Amino acid sequence: MRALVKAKPEPGLWMEERPVPVIGPDEVLIRVRKTGICGTDVHIWNWDDWAAKTVPVPLVTGHEFAGEIVEVGRDVEDLAVGQRCSGEGHLIGHHSRQVRAGRFHLDPETRGIGVNVAGAFADYLRLPAFNVVPLPDSIDDEIGAILDPLGNAVHTALSFDLVGEDVLVTGAGPIGIMAAAVARHVGARHVVITDVNPARLALAAEVADVVPVNVASEDLHQVMDRLKIVQGFDVGMEMSGAPAGFDQMVGAMVMGGRIAMLGIPPGRSPVDWSRIVFKALTIKGVYGREIFETWYKMIAMLENGLNIRRVITHRFPVARFAEGFAAMREGSSGKVVLDWG
């Protein structure tokens, strides 16, 4: 089969021929139809410090996918050949207190497909049946292929009650834009999204009814005055990973406000903790998706009018994967989807 492999410890990914994976009794084999390129995949391509210390070489990369089950292991009872699916790319253990309590997304033994073990950028993916998420007919393969990052957005957005609240999203990358769309969908009052990249802000306004603010040229507090956000934002979602984004968010929050933080700051970054204490803010770190509550919620919302399709800005046949990665690396794309048909 074809696979996009991190074959050498240096920048790049290579299309190689690989054997089709052999599945175990509790696993399924999935014929991959579409995959999404994630910022994580770009780190792996670039072979930065994180990638070099995390990713074993060689490795089949990729974790955002949709496809169809073509084989089921002998102990798999509730899935059948022909089932269209996506799936949770975090493989969990069975030992930790968290897993035994059913809080699967908090398992410290989690391994990621396409990061620690063979991934989805291939014609075939081997996955535990437990991780499979069947897709209803209403969700096509390209949306199925971006449920993983949509799940990051949904997990973050549903961390706090948003109904009637004023929400600030810092960072209009694909995940920030989708989180803003979710906040709008579930009934926030105002949803303001910031970035320093005009193309990203324009994309945000195309995807959802949100207020884009370019913090490189506009004063966020003037925008708040215009929207009659008197004391500050009730809920913040940090989606930039930029220390400046988080700092501005802290400054714009209401007393007692709540921040869900998905963005990953680079290394140790300075934080003015006194403002967080004096504003009595709650900050929640968000990792991955709740398994499988986030999946349930996002599929339910997609079936009930949440429309994030326009966040997909580039589509390529997989033979042109390098162009897809180039679009990602350029920094103004939304989601980039590769077709394995």
32, 60, 129, 172: which one binds ligand NAD (CB under 6 A): 172
Q: Rule CB under 6 A: is residue 263 a binding residue for ligand NAD?
A: yes
| Span of 66-74, 258-266, 269-277, 314-322 interacting with ligand NAD by CB under 6 A | 258-266
Encoded one letter per residue, x for contact with ligand NAD by CB under 6 A and - for no contact, window 223-252 reads: ----------------xxxx-xx-------
Residues 118-157 that bind Zn ion (CB under 5 A): 148-149
Closest distance between ligand NAD and the C-beta of residue 322, in Å? 19
Kind of pairing between the strands at 191-195 and 167-170: parallel
Chosen from ligand NAD, Zn ion, none, partner binding at 263 (C-beta under 5 to 8 Å by type)? ligand NAD
43 in catalytic set: yes
Q: Does 38 interact with Zn ion (rule: CB under 5 A)? A: yes
189-218 binders of ligand NAD (CB under 6 A): 194-197, 200, 215
Amino acid in the structure at residue 21? P
* Interatomic CA distance for residues 100 and 293, integer angstroms: 16
Contact call for residues 136 and 296 (beta carbons, < 8 A):
no
Which of the residues 35, 40, 61, 110 is marked catalytic? 40
- The residue (of 63 and 190) whose beta carbon lies closer to Zn ion is 63
Cα separation, 60 vs 340, whole angstroms? 15
Beta carbon nearer to Zn ion, 61 or 159: 61
Beta bridge partners of 91: 111
Query: Which residue in this structure is represented by tokens 């690989």?
Result: 18
- Which residues, numbered 130-159, are part of the site for ligand NAD (CB under 6 A)? 152
Q: Does 88 bind ligand NAD (CB under 6 A)?
A: no
Among 265, 328, 323, 281, which residue's Cα sits nearest to residue 43? Answer: 328
Minimum distance between the CB of residue 74 and ligand NAD, rounded to whole angstroms? 34
Q: Is 176 in the site for ligand NAD (CB under 6 A)?
A: yes
- Active-site residue, selected from the candidate residues 43, 282, 313, 314: 43
- Single out the residue of 61, 127, 124, 136 nearest to residue 89, CA to CA: 127
54 makes contact with ligand NAD (CB under 6 A): no
Distance of closest approach, residue 175 Cβ to Zn ion, in angstroms: 9
Looking at the Cβ atoms of 205 and 264, the one nearer to ligand NAD is 264
Residue 86 contact partner, candidates ligand NAD, Zn ion, none, CB within 5 to 8 A by sort of partner = none
Number of residues counted as binding ligand NAD (CB under 6 A): 27
Residue nearest to ligand NAD (CB): 173
Q: Site for ligand NAD (CB under 6 A): which residue of 170, 185, 297, 340?
A: 170
What tokens appear for 218 in the block? 């506009």
Tokens of 161: 């009650």
Q: Can 185 be counted among the known catalytic residues?
A: no
Residues near Zn ion (CB under 5 A): 38, 148-149
Residues near ligand NAD (CB under 6 A): 39, 152, 170-176, 194-197, 200, 215, 239-242, 244-245, 262-264, 286-288
Instruction: Give me the active site residues, please.
Output: 40, 43
